[in-house]
A and B are shown apart, each in its own frame.
Chain A
Amino acid sequence: MATDLFQSPDYYQLDELLSEEHLLVREATRDWVKKEVTPIIEDYAQRAEFPKHIVNGLAEVGAFGPYIPQEYGGAGLDQISYGLMMQEIERGDSGVRSTCSVQSSLVMYPIYKYGNEEQRKKYLPKLASGEFLGCFGLTEPDHGSNPGGMITNFKDKGDHYLLNGAKMWISNAPFADIAVVWAKDETGRIHGLIVERGMEGFTTPETHNKWSLRASATGELVFDNVKVPKENLLPNKSGLGAPLGCLDSARFGIAWGAIGAAMDCYDTALRYAKERIQFEKPIASFQLQQKKLAEMITEITKAQLLTWRLGVLRNEDKATSAQISMAKRNNVDMALKIAREARQMLGGMGISGEYSIMRHMMNLESVVTYEGTHDIHLLITGMDVTGIPAFK
């Protein structure tokens, strides 16, 4: 890959809305990504391999649980800082950002919010330091958009729970040390359980041949009469709202992350268009190419404003799930469209691994599907404004 010359656009002087600390968080994360992610990521994505060695670096920079309090190993930062970190990491690669989202919002968050003190003390510092990598098992082969229909279940066997079922499309599954698994009890109520690698009957086969998020490992979680100690049940919240609370946190990060991917595509296309000469002129001088660039920066700017406001609301604990859905849906769609347009602007070079655009484009096909599909988020907004659910 060519050297990483990325410069972030700030068309509306939004940096003025950020604190000195936010800017430092963003700069530090960006510097880290330039040093550790961009030089290697294309190669790993081409080989469809997760760059395991960066887990330590991600932990060191503080990308695992940035908003988790310091006493549990996090940094205790605010939500805008978390968003900016996700933006910068996804600017590098959506797969690397996925690993951070899962670890922070889908594993550390439920343990912190729904776990007891022993569980927090036992797992959070190790997850923050990267000693443990976690995964989140909600989706099943027959229950994706409708997780409430899940069939994975556990039975109370007196001194332990007996867990059966299977989860599919689980990020980090193949090498996760622990899994936060959502399963139904005998009354059909959903609970979170912490399942550890090595428990008998628990396997994590890898899902191969993905054309998207190739630098992030995805797999299944298979539970065949797994004996889970009773102290591994997350006691403080149950019902579908529990996993959905985690998704709110992850989706918030994704709304920011998508801006990172979009900025990288825009920045690359802008630089290329000014340098690439056809018909004796830079292609940036043609109206059709300017239209693309002008629309890209307009959409990025709108998305930045949306997430900044959402970040303020979330800091004040006022952001609703529906507001988060709107931002996730809008921003990922915006990024995907920008990636496709930017790819065309680079002509043949756009499909090569010399540039990051095609990788972003393929990655975003997962991002637009996971954490609630593009359609489902629309239905959430629809339900929110009409009061009528249109899912069934």
Chain B
Amino acid sequence: MKILVCISHVPDTTSKINFADNNTAFDTAGVQFVINPYDEFGLTRALWIKEKQGGTVTVANVGTNVTDPTLRKALAIGADDAIRIDAEPTDAFFVAKQIAALVEENGYDLVICGQESIDYNGGQVPGLVAALLNWPFASPCTGLELDGTNATITREIDGGKEISKATLPIVIGGKKGLVEEKDLRIPNMRGIMTARTKPLLVRPAVDAEKRTTAVEYSKPEPKAAVKLIDKDNVEELVKLLHEEAKVI
């Protein structure tokens, strides 16, 4: 069983978000980067599969060398090897092309992505990878069981869950439920030392056009103060909901 876990390198959720270059780029100054939380659930699930039925877990990232610490952490947690496709992850199509090319070259049985990355939250990469490979795809997955090459997938849908079956190879977009928060692994010191000698391969990007361009970023309006309206003044409430909040 060869498993590929796609890892994105994202700002920690407590980061203060600012923009640089005239609001056309995210300002990384002072920002802590972490493994995308959705990917961490997938990585842990991949390690469980490996521990139960054998195989290898490779982690991959499309990024410049600033993402190496994130890959190294995934190695310290237990991945066998890491591959970094050396390019700025400009848009979802570009990233998906890189991953699909890697999968075609190395031949994995299972590709686990997160349902989305918590930086831009596009959520497009896993679906695009599956489409480029012409493989079955399911997202957002809250459960994955394997029996040989048969996969049983639990997917979150509005108001319930959907259970489907597919034959490997498949691509999934995972989230909490693949494993729980308490199952996530903190690297230990021996893991960190072993990660030193595990391969972290850097390979050039394949040609791929960029299909989207960010024009400008802006922050959401700060929350306005709460307006309290006397319980007897229903007319005023209706008026404000209509004219100010514009919700009715």
Contacts and interface: CB of A to CB of B under 8 A. Distances in A.
Interface of A: 7, 20-21, 23-25, 27-28, 31-32, 35, 60-63, 66, 70, 75-77, 81, 85
A21 B76 CA distance: 10
Interface in B43-93: 68-69, 72-73, 76
A62 B68 contact: no
A70 B193 CA distance: 9
B72 A77 contact: no
B54 to A, nearest CB: 24
B248 interface: no
Nearest to A85: B189
16 contacts: A20-B68, A20-B69, A20-B72, A24-B73, A25-B192, A28-B76, A28-B187, A28-B189, A60-B188, A61-B186, A62-B188, A62-B190, A63-B189, A66-B189, A77-B189, A77-B192
B192 A24 contact: yes
A314 to B, nearest CB: 18
B196 interface: yes
B63 to A, nearest CB: 15
Contacts, number: 49
Q: Is the interface of A mostly helix, strand, loop or mixed?
A: helix
Nearest to B187: A28
Given A61-B186, A77-B192, 11 more contacts: A20-B68, A24-B73, A24-B192, A28-B186, A28-B187, A35-B186, A62-B192, A63-B189, A66-B189, A70-B193, A81-B189
Given A75-B192, A75-B193, A24 B69 contact: yes
A21 B197 CA distance: 12
A174 to B, nearest CB: 27
Those 3 A-B pairs whose CB atoms lie nearest each other, nearest first: A62-B189, A75-B189, A28-B187
B139 to A, nearest CB: 27
A392 B17 CA distance: 60
Contact of B192 (A21, A32, A60, A63): A21
Most buried by A among B186, B189, B193: B189
B218 interface: no
Interface residues of B, number: 14
A21 B73 CA distance: 9
A80 to B, nearest CB: 13
Given A7-B14, A20-B68, A25 B186 contact: no
A7 B12 CA distance: 12
Contacts of B193: 70, 75-77
The residue among B187, B188, B196 with the most chain A CB atoms within 10 A of its own CB is B188
A49 B14 CA distance: 34
B190 to A, nearest CB: 5
B196 A24 contact: no
A341 B14 CA distance: 27
Interface string B155-199: 000000000000000000000000000000011111011001000
A291 B196 CA distance: 44
